[in-house]
Structure 1
Amino acid sequence: METSLNMNKVVDFVTRCVTLQLAVNQNGNLTSIPWLSGPPGIGKSEVIRQICRDKGWGLRVVYMATIMLEQITGLPAVTKDRDKESEFIRWSRPEIFNLEKLQVAPKDRESPIIMLLDDAHLCNRQIQAYLFQLLTYRSIHDHKLPDNVALVLAGNRGKDKAGFQEILAPVANRIFFINLHADLDQWVEGFAVKNNIRSEIISFLQHYPECLVGKPMESTAWASPRSWTYASINIDSFGESLADNTLFTILSGHVGTEATTKFIEYHELYAKWNAAAILNENEPVEMESLSK
């Protein structure tokens, strides 16, 4: 039986995992590294950003989808020994170890920093070989991560049509896989209202929660918290000049035709009601009432 967590529980698990990593870093012991696993567009990366903002931690995001081998290995250089009679290879510090490029700044220099290896499901086997070294020894060649840095991975699942690369068994054996799913109530309360997602979209999804996340599709639009957010932003940009055919074009181009058709039907009824009042009550619209 597959167990997945909502975002609130994920926050607790990740916080505990990071705290444990930081503790064992001090005494040289090892622990598993959390991997947030779930469909695209549900907010895996954003939940890490929010944890860092709330805790005053730093955040360094490494995008594994576009990383080059040299960025994780560093570059070799021939170095002469002090007696100048022998030569050896010394590796430069890997670019991923650069902690000056932080997406979230820590509250002070002593605060923890999360290094998020995002889109880790796209790592090929060559990259995974170095990932094994990083997860096991917290180092690449002779360069070691500082003790105040904790590792977290995030990626999609094999069934998500997201270019998933099978994770090598020795790497997977060092990972704590945390499966997560989008929860509508938490998305509305924790994100949608705070970020001014359009009230009719919120109300629609409250009545049709199954439309929040659709089946991941290749080369076509499908619904996710991210695509609903983008749709809302694009609708806002048209202001009062938004025509019905434009609304359909925007929505279908973001969340797909099926969810859009349902939304248009709902929107025609929703227009009869005071959207602000419905949103303030934070309750789904009753279709029986709308049809009267």
Structure 2
Amino acid sequence: MSVNAMTVSAGEALEVLRAGWQAQAAGHMLASYMMHGRPGVGKTQVVEQLANEIGARLFDLRLTTIEPQDLRGLPYYDHDTQKTKWYRPEDLPDDIAHPAILFLDELTAASPMLQPTVYGLLQERRVGRHCLPDNVFVVAAGNTVEDGAIAYQMNTALSDRLIHLHVRAAAADWLDNFAVPRGLHPTVVAFIRTRADLLDTTERALAEGQLIATTPRSWERVSQIMAAVPDRRTRNVLIAGTVGEAVAAEFAMIADDIAATVQVQDMLEADRKARIALYPASMHGLNALIYGLIGILDARNVNGVIEVMADIRDLARLREEPEFKRMPLGELTTYGFEGLIRKGLDLGLGERFLSHDAYKTYAKERQEAGLA
């Protein structure tokens, strides 16, 4: 059974859930949400980010690891009333003073025996005699049978209790809203910027009968490997075991090129004439440089970072290599400054950009060209 909901990126899913929480907090709508999506597309990160934004305690229930009684609680005999009562499980929120998110993960992989117990939480917001406070936001997530994951078909009784979102990986969204803000390794970010088709290869791997596919989650792991494992041979073995041998081989070639040509700290320390000679003469290298500059930006180096970024647009004039004349240097510079400014505003450095001569010249040129 296909998920006939609108397909959204992880960033768009976060926007929808944020709006849902705001509507619930204002007393306008009380609903439960379901994110469908392949393994590793970022469903859990979306919920974690929302919890951080709204200051909510996150109750993360992996439904494949619990039994119905784990949600219902345990019975005990009350001798005074001569009735059986229930101890409420600690995994369900009950604090009316602070917001909470109840995240029912792996819903479609949960035992069918558990689903009737979950129905009450999703629709009536209660299980047994325990009712969820109105400040609890309920989100579920799961894979589909078509994703190659362990999953049961969702029945109509359960489906009707949810607002459904079909989450798919989108390279631009992942780069702007996850990879760059979280400081993933510049080589990984640069690679996906130029090979967006390799962000998620789950469908291709399933069609070809391959065990390993790339996902946003696996590229985050590659970033960790790049930062933690200095030995090239060992690192390549680990990356091949994470994204598959063919993709890992292509990534290794780009990683070697970037490692040989991108020296962010050396460029910041060099004078302008010497610095021009240090710019990498490849798209992968320039993308990695841009993300390296965004990652390293702080109050101490902001002037140098702005200068290095601004000079990218003039490389076709300042360098003799023909490669620079074929590159969209203006677009790269604009994209780089957009990322720099986003981070600079978060760090309180906005005025440093506006007062810097190199940035003012760049902004004036864009305005005169009708691009600002």
Q: Same fold (TM over 0.5)?
A: yes
TM bucket (normalised to shorter chain) is 0.7 to 0.9
Q: Which residue matches 1:51? A: 50
Q: Which residue matches 1:233? A: 224
Q: 2:229, 2:235 within 8 Å by CA — same for their partners in 1?
A: no
State the identity %. Answer: 22
Bigger mean CA deviation after superposition, 188-197 or 118-127: 188-197
Alignment of 1:274 onto 2:273: no
Q: Which residue matches 2:73? A: 74
SS in structure 2 at match of 1:60: strand
- Cα distance 1:2–1:261, how it changes in 2: closer, same or farther (>3 A)? farther
Larger gyration radius, structure 1 or structure 2: 2
Q: 2:258, 2:288 within 8 Å by CA — same for their partners in 1?
A: no
Residue of structure 2 aligned with 1:171, choices 138, 158, 161: 158
Q: How does 1:5-24 map to 2 (within 5 A)?
A: 5-22=8-25
Q: 1:60, 1:99 within 8 Å by CA — same for their partners in 2?
A: no
Q: 2: distance between equivalents of 1:275 and 1:117?
A: 45
- Cα distance 1:122–1:222, how it changes in 2: closer, same or farther (>3 A)? same
Q: 2: distance between equivalents of 1:121 and 1:215?
A: 18
Q: 2: distance between equivalents of 1:118 and 1:273?
A: 43
Q: Which residue matches 1:139? A: 126
TM-score by length of 2: 0.64
> Offset at 1:124?
1.4
1:71-124 Cα shifts (integer Å, max 9, x gaps): 111112233454xxxx43222213431558xxxxxxxx7342111111112121
1:204-263 Cα shifts (integer Å, max 9, x gaps): 111111111111668933211111111221232223xx22x3232111111111211221
SS in structure 1 at match of 2:123: helix
- Cα distance 1:39–1:110, how it changes in 2: closer, same or farther (>3 A)? same
Q: 1: distance between equivalents of 2:177 and 2:105?
A: 22
Q: 2:94, 2:133 within 8 Å by CA — same for their partners in 1?
A: no
Q: 2: distance between equivalents of 1:34 and 1:71?
A: 22
SS in structure 1 at match of 2:202: coil
Q: 1: distance between equivalents of 2:25 and 2:156?
A: 25
SS in structure 2 at match of 1:35: strand
1:153-193 Cα shifts (integer Å, max 9, x gaps): 11112211221122222111111110112222222222223
> Offset at 1:51?
1.4
Q: Which residue matches 2:316? A: none
Q: 1: distance between equivalents of 2:154 and 2:183?
A: 38
Report which of the two has the higher share of helix. 2
- Cα distance 1:126–1:212, how it changes in 2: closer, same or farther (>3 A)? same
Q: Which residue matches 1:252? A: 240
Q: 1: distance between equivalents of 2:263 and 2:155?
A: 51
Q: Which residue matches 1:37? A: 36
Q: 1:72, 1:95 within 8 Å by CA — same for their partners in 2?
A: no
Q: 1: distance between equivalents of 2:117 and 2:198?
A: 39
Aligned residues: 268
Amino acid corresponding to residue 203 of structure 1 in structure 2? A
Q: 2: distance between equivalents of 1:261 and 1:238?
A: 17
> Offset at 1:24?
5.2
- Cα distance 1:98–1:204, how it changes in 2: closer, same or farther (>3 A)? same
Q: 2:94, 2:132 within 8 Å by CA — same for their partners in 1?
A: no
Q: 2:144, 2:152 within 8 Å by CA — same for their partners in 1?
A: no
> Offset at 1:202?
1.4
Q: 1:94, 1:140 within 8 Å by CA — same for their partners in 2?
A: no
Amino acid corresponding to residue 235 of structure 1 in structure 2? M
Q: 1: distance between equivalents of 2:223 and 2:238?
A: 9
CA RMSD of aligned residues (A): 2.9
Name structure 2 gaps, 5 residues minimum.
Answer: 265-285, 292-311, 313-321, 325-372
1:266-285 Cα shifts (integer Å, max 9, x gaps): 334444532645335469xx
Q: How does 1:174-213 map to 2 (within 5 A)?
A: 174-213=161-200
Alignment of 1:63 onto 2:62: yes
Higher relative contact order (CA 8 A, sep 6+): 1
